[in-house]
Amino acid sequence: MGTRIEDVSGGTKANDILLRDFTSKFRSGYKRVFPLGDSGKRSGKGYLLPDYFCDYEKQIREMEIRPDDVWVASYPKTGTTWTQEMVWCIGNDLDFEAAKSTILPLRFPFIDFSCLFDFETQPAEALNSSFYDFLKNSVNFTINMKSPRYIKTHLPYELLPEQMKSKNTKIIYVARNPKDTCVSYFHHARLIEGYRGSFEDFIELFLQDSVSYSPFWDHLVSYWEHREEANVLFLKYEEMKRDLPSVIRKVSKFLGKEQLNDKDMKTLCDHLSFDSMKTNSSVNYEFAVDKTQNLGLSQGEQRFMRKGKVNSWKEEISPDVAERFDAWIENNLNGL
């Protein structure tokens, strides 16, 4: 399919906020990436991605896909880490010892990590040589993993490797209420991505499709359109919070694993509880937060795993802004 890539410059309120409050020595600028249809014409509004995506776009697009790959895809801050840990544990027959002894980025790498940041990392700063290899080039690290590979991405469906469309690779997508997503993304951006602006400006960016991986709705719909295909499983964060055992059974069936007995189900649910995840050093990304704080990139004081609640947006979004969100949601869902 290919892409058309355009520079993002100032001149609109959202672009001015973006370039002022997100760009730094770790992130120099942004592009709009337009997937090209079969006719060669660009489609959609264009996905916003940091400049560094251009360095890896071709390598990702031409990546060799293996029949036993499992991908977890999502828009940022929609329950990705939680879903990854659930999928990895089910796929690896509840090997909790291995899960706790190896950090998630090495078991389940974020392939587009290097598309987001540009910072120098010395081997001594990394937890081990494998983690250094991941930080240096997450795409190469993922490509060279032993099978079976478990791979995380925030890329929309159109920007996935071309072979995924023909090889029916298993894809699990997780979606979340956009209001909760926006609030969580704001705190994440301050903590990890060096965002220096206000919450009000971040909301403006979110609603104007001007934070990384946006537009939110184009991203979600790119996977929703494939939800009926046998190799795609579409999950919702709220569903996982409401009835985790039911989701676990659904994922187990999708991965071709035997259904868990009551004891194993309870053990896995306990392992995946928010309190357990928050204190589990293999998944809570404390090492990443410490890194960004030491580099002076972090603008926040909270930790990677913050609340893990449904509708926590009500604690931070005013009624007036909520009405604006509702109008934005209705406008984007109209006709779908």
Return the closest-CA partner of residue 238 out of 283, 181, 277: 181
- pLDDT at residue 265 greater than cutoff 80: yes
CA angle 240, 241, 244 (to 5 degrees): 50
Residue 73: pLDDT band by 50, 70, 90 thresholds? Answer: very high
pLDDT value for 287: 64
Q: At what angle do helices 244-254 and 80-91 cross, to 10 degrees?
A: 50
To the query of whether residue 187 is one of the catalytic residues in this protein, the response is no
- pLDDT at residue 63 greater than cutoff 90: yes
Average pLDDT of span 125-146: 84
What whole-number distance in Å separates Cα of residue 48 and Cα of residue 224? 20
What whole-number distance in Å separates Cα of residue 106 and Cα of residue 91? 15
- Say if residues 155 and 74 touch (Cβ distance below 8 Å): no
CA angle 211, 217, 218 (to 5 degrees): 90
pLDDT value for 32: 96
Hunting for tokens 């930080």 — which residue is that? 135
Classify residue 69 as exposed, middle or buried by CB count within 10 Å of its CB (0-12, 13-18, 19+): buried
DSSP 259: P
What whole-number distance in Å separates Cα of residue 10 and Cα of residue 163? 36
Helix, strand, coil percent content, the chain, rounded in steps of 5? 50, 10, 40
- pLDDT at residue 40 greater than cutoff 50: no
Query: In the sheet where 30-35 sits, what is the strand order?
Result: 3-7, 30-35, 47-50
For the chain, which domains are there? 64-333 (3.40.50.300)
* Structure-model confidence comparison of residues 278 and 55, the more confident one: 55
What whole-number distance in Å separates Cα of residue 109 and Cα of residue 142? 6
pLDDT in tens, 171-212: 999 999 999 999 999 998 988 888 999 999 999 999 999 999
pLDDT value for 134: 86
- pLDDT at residue 214 greater than cutoff 80: yes
**Range with the lowest mean pLDDT among 41-45, 178-182, 222-226?**
41-45
Mean pLDDT over each residue of the chain, to the nearest integer: 88
Expressed in angstroms, the distance from the first to the final Cα of the chain is: 24
* Structure-model confidence comparison of residues 304 and 160, the more confident one: 160
Catalytic position from the list 154, 187, 219, 271: 154
Name the token pair of 190: 């301050």
SS3 3: strand
Residue 39: pLDDT band by 50, 70, 90 thresholds? Answer: very low
- Say if residues 154 and 76 touch (Cβ distance below 8 Å): yes
**Range with the lowest mean pLDDT among 209-213, 218-222, 274-278?**
274-278
What whole-number distance in Å separates Cα of residue 303 and Cα of residue 92? 28
Average pLDDT of span 132-152: 93
